[in-house]
């Protein structure tokens, strides 16, 4: 989002430009990164590539909330950005104040980037969700204002699957209760209603990254696996896809949810679904708090229909760590839930391992830096995915145009008319619903032309935002 003033300052910053080539992003093992590596850039792998900067790197302001991992902070520091790091999320009014001034924001699951908040973002180029879920961001509105959103699609999947596997065994053995009892001095050696998991049936709702990973772990424990998903997905091992949710509920001893938060998944498990489950079965949820109707779960447990539950996520969650915040003011049913037997409650830690957080930090920070520095939107969850190979070091007087616009006929003609006095070396455009994104490298551009190109593009009818990189 280079302003004319920034364009005038461009020359000064040019020499200070940093590349991503030395960043830890290069060691990410995610397919997103591998996919990026297969892009046309490979053709010029032996050449030195030119760093692009539209502005002094020091002008880029990034706000990182919710204890984003140190790996990300290091990548942003290497880029020379101004990085502000806060441990918790921010309440809406403080977020609105902060967002007015920043170019990028990194969040996890607690920070709500609603339309109301995003309306105040005047310079926001990019949002990084340092997690899998992106339901906390109004993705459509972000796209509408030209802000790309990136996440980490599966760096914490294994961590969640391992936690669920541990909880399945813990519920079957009433481990949580025995531990709480002994912590308070009570020796209670029982075997009644305690089971092995071998030979039992696990029903997985949502057979994506986490569900399918869990499927493999559960089979290694000797469990039978059924899964229900809205799309047909290849079974791993000897797992079987069932065609209705009811069939999964009728046949499973353990039911676990691994679906995204959508309108369709709200209260996916409620009173009728608990009624359809086997007597004495167990429920687990580490997806999103809205997926299970918790008051209905409480009733099903009180009626001895459900023998235990493990919950990692809740409709309302505290914004930061601390004693006393998980209470009835947050969710009206809290005290009733915590008084029930065989309930394992964890504070949304499914993806909270050193391995996952470090990998997520690298992956998302690299994607954000690449988008800020080069305009590469591959991997974005709300934007057309567009990429151009880097400029070579010897390419003088070449400008990269990043033009985000409404997806209506005739825009490219208008833009290419503006660029036509220069050689368009390469360009790539794609659309995603109402939003389209054009990247073009144009050569033979004098310093004096740059402001003129910017001003002309800025006056086009359907532009959403423009950045010019040099």
Ligand X SMILES: O=C(O)CC[C@@H](O)C(=O)O
Ligand Y SMILES: NC(=O)c1ccc[n+]([C@@H]2O[C@H](COP(=O)([O-])OP(=O)(O)OC[C@H]3O[C@@H](n4cnc5c(N)ncnc54)[C@H](O)[C@@H]3O)[C@@H](O)[C@H]2O)c1
Of 106, 351, 361, 379, the one binding ligand Y (CB under 6 A) is 351
Smallest distance from ligand Y to CB 285, Å: 9
Of 53, 108, 178, 288, the one binding ligand Y (CB under 6 A) is 288
Q: How far apart (Å, rounded) are the C-alpha atoms in residues 194 and 171?
A: 8
Give the residue with the Cβ less far from ligand Y, 112 or 288: 288
Smallest distance from ligand X to CB 157, Å: 9
Give the residue with the Cβ less far from ligand Y, 351 or 361: 351
Of 138, 167, 177, 312, the one binding ligand Y (CB under 6 A) is 312
CB-closest chain residue to ligand Y: 208
Q: Could you say whether residue 259 binds ligand Y (CB under 6 A)?
A: yes
| Positions in the binding site for ligand X (CB under 6 A) | 108-109, 131-133, 156, 348, 350-351
Smallest distance from ligand X to CB 164, Å: 13
Smallest distance from ligand X to CB 379, Å: 15
Instruction: For residue 232, give Cα distances in angstroms to 207, 228, 287.
Output: 9, 9, 20
Q: Could you say whether residue 258 binds ligand Y (CB under 6 A)?
A: yes
Quick note: the x/- pattern for ligand Y over 218-257, rule CB under 6 A, is ----------xxxx--------------------------
Give the residue with the Cβ less far from ligand Y, 179 or 262: 262
Give the residue with the Cβ less far from ligand Y, 207 or 437: 207
Of 80, 88, 260, 315, the one binding ligand Y (CB under 6 A) is 260
Q: Give yes or no: 288 in active site.
A: yes
Give the residue with the Cβ less far from ligand Y, 226 or 415: 226
Give the residue with the Cβ less far from ligand Y, 76 or 154: 154
Q: Give yes or no: 348 in active site.
A: yes
Q: Binders of ligand Y among 262-281, rule CB under 6 A?
A: 262, 264-265
DSSP strand pairing (148-150 vs 201-205): unpaired
Q: How far apart (Å, rounded) are the C-alpha atoms in residues 432 and 1?
A: 20
Please tell me which residue in 74, 219, 317, 425 is annotated as part of the active site.
317
Please tell me which residue in 108, 209, 258, 288 is annotated as part of the active site.
288
Q: Binders of ligand Y among 130-189, rule CB under 6 A?
A: 132-133, 154, 156-157, 160
Smallest distance from ligand Y to CB 296, Å: 17
Residue 103's binding partner, choosing from ligand X, ligand Y, none, with beta-carbon cut-off 5 to 8 A by kind? none
Count the site residues for ligand Y by CB under 6 A: 32
Q: Could you say whether residue 300 binds ligand Y (CB under 6 A)?
A: no
Q: Give yes or no: 422 in active site.
A: no
Instruction: Give the residue numbers annotated as catalytic, written as ranges.
Output: 288, 317, 348
């Amino acid at each position: 989002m280079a302003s004319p003033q920034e364009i005038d300052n461009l020359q000064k910053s040019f020499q200070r430009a940093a590349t991503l080539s030395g960043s830890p992003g290069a060691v990410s093992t995610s397919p997103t990164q591998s996919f990026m590596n297969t892009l046309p850039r490979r053709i010029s792998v032996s050449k030195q590539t030119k760093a692009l900067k539209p502005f002094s790197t020091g002008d880029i302001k990034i706000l990182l909330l919710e204890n984003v991992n140190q790996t990300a902070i290091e990548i942003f520091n290497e880029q020379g950005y101004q990085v502000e790091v806060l441990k918790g999320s921010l309440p809406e009014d403080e977020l609105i104040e902060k967002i007015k001034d920043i170019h990028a924001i990194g969040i996890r699951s607690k920070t709500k980037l609603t339309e109301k908040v995003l309306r105040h973002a005047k310079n926001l180029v990019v949002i990084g969700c340092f997690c899998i879920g992106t339901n906390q961001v109004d993705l459509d509105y972000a796209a509408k204002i030209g802000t790309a959103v990136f996440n980490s699609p599966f760096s914490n999947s294994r961590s969640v699957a391992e936690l669920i596997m541990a909880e399945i065994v813990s519920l079957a053995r009433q481990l949580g209760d025995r531990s709480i009892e002994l912590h308070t001095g009570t020796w209670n050696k029982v075997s009644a209603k305690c089971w092995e998991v071998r030979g039992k049936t696990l029903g997985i709702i949502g057979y994506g990254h986490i569900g399918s990973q869990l499927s493999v772990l559960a089979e290694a424990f000797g469990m039978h696996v059924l899964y229900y998903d809205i799309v047909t997905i290849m079974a791993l091992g000897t797992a079987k896809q069932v065609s209705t949710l009811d069939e999964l509920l009728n046949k499973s001893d353990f039911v676990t949810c691994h679906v995204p938060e959508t309108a369709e998944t709200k209260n996916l498990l409620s009173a009728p679904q608990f009624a359809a489950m086997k007597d004495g079965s167990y429920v687990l949820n580490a997806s999103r708090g809205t997926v299970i109707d918790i008051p209905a779960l409480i009733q099903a447990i009180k009626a001895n229909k459900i023998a235990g539950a493990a919950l990692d996520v809740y409709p309302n969650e505290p914004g930061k760590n601390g004693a006393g915040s998980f209470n009835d003011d947050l969710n009206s049913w809290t005290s009733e839930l915590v008084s029930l037997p065989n309930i394992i409650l964890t504070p949304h830690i499914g993806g909270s391992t050193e391995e996952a957080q470090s990998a997520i930090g690298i992956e998302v920070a690299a994607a954000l830096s690449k988008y800020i520095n080069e305009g590469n939107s591959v991997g974005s969850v709300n934007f057309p995915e567009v990429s151009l190979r880097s400029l070579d070091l010897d390419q003088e007087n070449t400008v990269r145009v990043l033009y985000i616009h409404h997806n209506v006929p005739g825009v490219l003609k208008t833009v290419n008319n503006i660029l036509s006095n220069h050689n368009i070396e390469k360009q790539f455009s794609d659309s995603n619903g109402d939003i389209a994104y054009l990247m073009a490298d144009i050569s033979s551009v004098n310093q004096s032309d740059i402001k003129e190109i910017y001003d002309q593009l800025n006056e086009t009818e359907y532009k959403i935002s423009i950045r010019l990189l040099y």
